[in-house]
Amino acid sequence: MNLHLSGIGISRGIVSGRVMRLSDWPQVSERRLPPRRVEGEVSRYLAALQRADEELGTIRSGIPAGSPPEIAGFIEAHQLMLRDSTLSTAVIEIIRARRCNAEWALKLQRDELVTAFESMDNPYLRSRRDDVDQVVMRVQRLLIEGATRKNRQKPDDNDDTPLILVAEDISPADIISIPRRGVAAFVTEMGGPLSHTAILARSLRIPAVVGVHHARRLLHNRETLIIDGKRGTVVASPDEKTLKSFRRLEREDRRHQQHLRQLKGAPSCTRDGCNVSLQANIELPDDIGAARRVNAEGVGLYRTEFLYLNREDLPDEEEQLAAYRKVIRAMKGAPVTIRTLDLGADKPLDPEHGGHISPNPALGLRAIRLCLNQPTLFRPQLRALLRASAYGPLRIMLPMIASLEELQRVQALIGEIQTELDEDGLRYDPDVPVGIMIEVPAAALASRLLAPHVDFFSIGTNDLIQYTLAIDRADEEVNYLYDPLHPAVLQLIDMTISAGKRAGIPVSMCGEMAGDPGYTRLLLGLGLNEFSVPPTTLLEVKHLITTSDSSELARQCQRILRSASPARINHMLAELNQA
């Protein structure tokens, strides 16, 4: 008998397989140890910490190209927690003082930490209790796995049926390791389409449905399951008729993917002859391969934070130059847009190098504010970027600019550094383009005034949306309010594109909205003709561009801009996407 469940499809693809439920918190109990076994228990705990750290390091190296930098920061924060005395020294002291097993000592310390976090007035710091839980869960599982290794059943090597993970929620670190565990898809009770988990699932092309209420209670281990990650459908114990229906949809999806692969060499042009530039977002120099495999026309966003995170020292000018030069050379003449350092908020800089914990990190000392506040941090990056411009077409992009004064301070600093490079006899492109990200509402509202002073705009929708609507999309309590189609957001995007066109400068978009095929036709209709997207979604976006008429879309989008009703806007967008 079919059991139909519905949720939110966050990553397209149709998969049939068998359920593998992810267990909740492992149950642990206290065991008293004889004195001779205490130090052995300490060693067992330290070994589990080391294995957890190594696991996260492996996961960090497997982050797909184009993923948000917050994912790397999330994993690195967990590694730092593992190394902190509150999870190492404190737990060891409990083991020795109580002569108890490591699992119980870790539980006691976790409970104490969670109580401390929950008592904090700062909402941002209070939310970090989830990180504590995820780190402790990882170590607990390793401890329990080691204790029960001899008794575990071996997997059935003859059963190659895909596994579909069913859980309350899945962390980004677990998402990255899913392919290595033989899992083909996942279903969760929590989550939304804009969470880090959703973004990663799309990047890794793992079909997924989230927000399926009571999934763990209704779905049983080894039960046959079908999920449709596009439509948000989950079917348990399907009958033969249902299986045939989904297999037909699966064949159609495979044909569509084959068609997308054939688009790699095709021009990115609308049916009425409007050329659209499709570039890629990357985070690491090695990600360039993913961009080239889909014939990206350049790099529209190269994030530089990876050079600064998870290390005790700061990267010097030569190290940065080598990283930037590697990407520029690999693109073989295609333009590369490199964003200057965007640390702060959820990617804090080590306090030893000028970082600090702000009462409200998203609105505090971050991005260009941090860089202007710490010139010893910023100058080496600007020198490296200018020197890298001698090796190929490079654009420098400044994040979180909110005023002309901030922009002029950076431009003055660039001028000083150019004079230094001339005196040192070092090569650079004196006409290297310098542009800004439009991600603060003030910048969008003042875009007409800022445009004459820059060489290009790039709209960063992730921050623009959350700052405009005053919500944190990572906060499960309010992220349902995160709406790219809010009339205010659409007006700011339209305002920015119009200001760029009047000033004769290029306007691109590098935020999550640009890489979501559901918004491609809307953005084309608003006049956007430069997209910077994750390599994994570039071909899907190209497919929509090549099947669209930009002049007709522009006419329809004017109706959308005149609407104040989110429901009406969603309805009109659905009509736009069905054309």
DSSP for 349-409, please give it.
Answer: PPGGGT----SSGGGSS-HHHHHHH-HHHHHHHHHHHHHHGGGS-EEEEETT--SHHHHHH
pLDDT of 562 reads 94
Nearest residue to 16 (alpha-carbon basis) of 209, 227, 241 = 227
Q: Which residue has the higher pLDDT, 370 or 286?
A: 370
* Maximum separation of any 2 CA atoms in the chain, in Å: 81
The answer to whether the CB of 481 falls within 8 A of the CB of 566 is no
pLDDT of residue 157: 47
Average pLDDT of the chain, as a whole number: 87
Q: Which is it for strands 8-11 and 14-21: parallel, antiparallel or unpaired? A: unpaired
31 HSE (CA, 13 A, CB side): 10
Q: In the structure encoding, which two tokens stand for residue 186, read together?
A: 């996942």
Please write down the HEC assignment for all residues of 184-229. Answer: EEEEECCCCCCCHHHHHHHHHCCCEEECCCCHHHHCCCCCEEEEEC
Alpha-carbon gap, residue 323 to 327, rounded angstroms: 7
User: Please, what sign has the CA dihedral across residues 340, 343, 347, 350?
Assistant: positive
Give the SS3 label for residue 307. Answer: helix
Read off the amino acid at residue 496.
T
At residue 515, does pLDDT exceed 60? yes
State the pTM of this model: 0.74
Tell me what pLDDT residue 254 has: 83
Domains in the chain with CATH codes: 3-21+154-259 (3.50.30.10), 35-151 (1.10.274.10), 272-578 (3.20.20.60)
* Lowest pLDDT segment from 116-125, 137-146, 390-399, 440-449: 116-125
pLDDT at 357: 52
For residue 151, name the pLDDT band (cuts at 50, 70, 90): very low
Note the pLDDT of residue 500. 98
Query: Minimum mean pLDDT among 351-355, 390-394, 569-573: which range?
Result: 351-355
Find which of 24-38, 111-125, 154-168, 402-416 is predicted with most confidence, using mean pLDDT: 402-416
**Position 230 confidence tier, pLDDT thresholds 50, 70, 90:** confident
Greater pLDDT, 153 or 407? 407
CA atoms within 13 A on the CB side of 470: 0
Which element (helix H / strand E) includes 84?
Answer: none
Which of 448, 449, 486, 451 shows the shortest CA–CA distance to 465?
486
Residue 541, classed as helix, strand or coil, is helix
What type of residue is 502?
Answer: R
Residue of 491, 485, 10 whose CA lies nearest to 209: 10
Residue whose C-alpha is closest to residue 351's, from 369, 377, 372, 316:
377
CB atoms under 10 Å from CB of 356, counted, come to 12
Q: Which residues are catalytic?
A: 196, 510
Amino acid at 23: S
Mean pLDDT value across residues 509-536: 94
Checking if the pLDDT of 127 tops 60, the result is no
Report pLDDT for 104: 95
Contact yes or no for 22/170 (Cβ under 8 A): yes
State yes or no: pLDDT of 180 exceeds 80: no
CA atoms in the 13 A half-sphere facing the CB of 563: 16
| pLDDT, mean of residues 441-467 | 96
pLDDT cut 90: percent of the chain above it: 56
* Strand ranges inside 366-449, DSSP E: 394-398, 434-438
Q: What 8-state DSSP symbol labels residue 392?
A: S
pLDDT at 76 over 50: yes
Task: Give me the pLDDT at residue 578, please.
Answer: 85
Q: What is the pLDDT of residue 427?
A: 97
Give the chain's length: 579
pLDDT band at 514 (very low <50, low <70, confident <90, very high): very high
Res. 158 pLDDT band, cuts 50 70 90: low
- Three-state secondary structure string covering 232-268: CEEEECCCHHHHHHHHHHHHHHHHHHHHHHHCCCCCC
* Higher per-residue confidence, 150 vs 257: 257
Token digits for 184? 């083909």
- Indicate if the pLDDT at residue 429 is higher than 90: yes
What's the confidence (pLDDT) of residue 423? 97
Q: State the residue for tokens 């001028």.
A: 415
- What's phi and psi for 164, nearest 5 deg? -120, 115
Report the chain's C-alpha Rg in angstroms: 25
DSSP string, 471-493: --TT-TTTGGG--TT-HHHHHHH
Greatest mean pLDDT among 5-19, 21-35, 351-365: 5-19
Under 8 Å CB-to-CB from 426, ≥6 apart: which residues?
387
pLDDT at residue 329 tops 70? yes
Q: Which two tokens stand for residue 288?
A: 């360039």
**Percentage of the chain exceeding pLDDT 70:** 89
By the 8 A CB rule, do 505 and 455 touch? yes
Q: What is the mean pLDDT of residues 215-228?
A: 91
Question: What pLDDT score does 39 carry?
Answer: 95
DSSP assignment, residue 399? T
| pLDDT above 80 (res 92) | yes
Indicate whether 534 pLDDT > 80.
yes
What pLDDT shows up at residue 152?
42
Question: Binning pLDDT at 50, 70 and 90, where does residue 150 land?
Answer: very low
Q: How many CA atoms lie within 13 A of 32 on its CB side?
A: 1
What confidence score (pLDDT) does residue 106 get? 95
61-65, 271-275, 429-433, 539-543: which has the minimum mean pLDDT? 61-65
Q: What is the mean pLDDT of residues 74-101?
A: 91
Strand-pairing partners, residue 347, are 344
Q: If you average pLDDT over each of 55-64, 108-117, 356-365, 400-409, which comes out highest?
A: 400-409
Report strand pairing: 3-6 vs 233-236: antiparallel
Q: Nearest Cα to 330, choosing from 380, 284, 396?
A: 284
* Residues contacting 26, CB < 8 A, separation 6+: 103, 137, 140, 141, 144
Task: Provide the CB-side half-sphere exposure for 560 (13 A, CA).
Answer: 31
Spatial neighbors of 243 by CB under 8 A, at least 6 apart, are: 16, 226
Element (H, E) at 31: none
**Would you place residue 474 in the very low, low, confident or very high pLDDT band (cuts 50, 70, 90)?**
low
491-281-412 Cα angle (round to 5): 75
